Amino acid sequence: MEIRASIRIEESTFSLSDYQAFIDDNSDSIDDFKKIRNQAFEDELARWHANGQFHFDTDEGEAVATDITWSEDATVVDSPVSGSVWQTQVKVGDQVKAGQLLVVLESMKMEIPIYATSSGVVSDLLLKDGSRVNAGQAIVVLEELVTELVEGKA
């Protein structure tokens, strides 16, 4: 559905005294509205307290050790943002190509795809779906794909 509207711009002058007169003339209506608005907020706040939404806590994902080391030629793919692992697209042992989707993160209701920066084999998948992740935290480790030459075959 497309809605088109035209905008009309008019030259005018703002008069503080006219504005103040408008506020004064409508003060009873304005006060009534504010009372209704404030009561509605208080009612909503009471509902949040009653059903536990006011102090909402989420279960934190498992902590992952940060002192893990990998081989020198390993490629460590880390998270550019804090959020959670929404969908893991690979598993340990999978061969991936540069640019292939590895993981989809969720952060602030946005999906953030994480792609392989090089070709290789997934040697470590450090987080599972639903785990919390911090910016800069390692998610996937890729090892260089080793091909053996066997009598003329690559």
Here the tokens at position 141 are 């480790």
Helix (H, G, I), strand (E, B) or coil at 153: strand
- pLDDT value at residue 66: 54
Q: Where are the beta strands (DSSP E) in 1-154?
A: 75-78, 83-88, 95-96, 101-107, 110-115, 120-125, 132-133, 138-143
The ranges assigned to domains in the chain are: 16-50, 75-143
pTM of the predicted model as reported, rounded to 2 decimal places: 0.54
149 pLDDT band, cuts 50/70/90, is very low
Question: Going by C-beta distance under 8 Å and a sequence separation of 6 or more, which residues neighbour residue 45?
Answer: 54
Encode pLDDT of 60-116 as tens digits: 555 555 567 788 888 999 999 999 999 999 999 999 999 999 999 999 889 999 999
Topology (CATH) of 75-143: OB fold (Dihydrolipoamide Acetyltransferase, E2P) (2.40.50)
Neighbours of 93 (CB within 10 A): 9
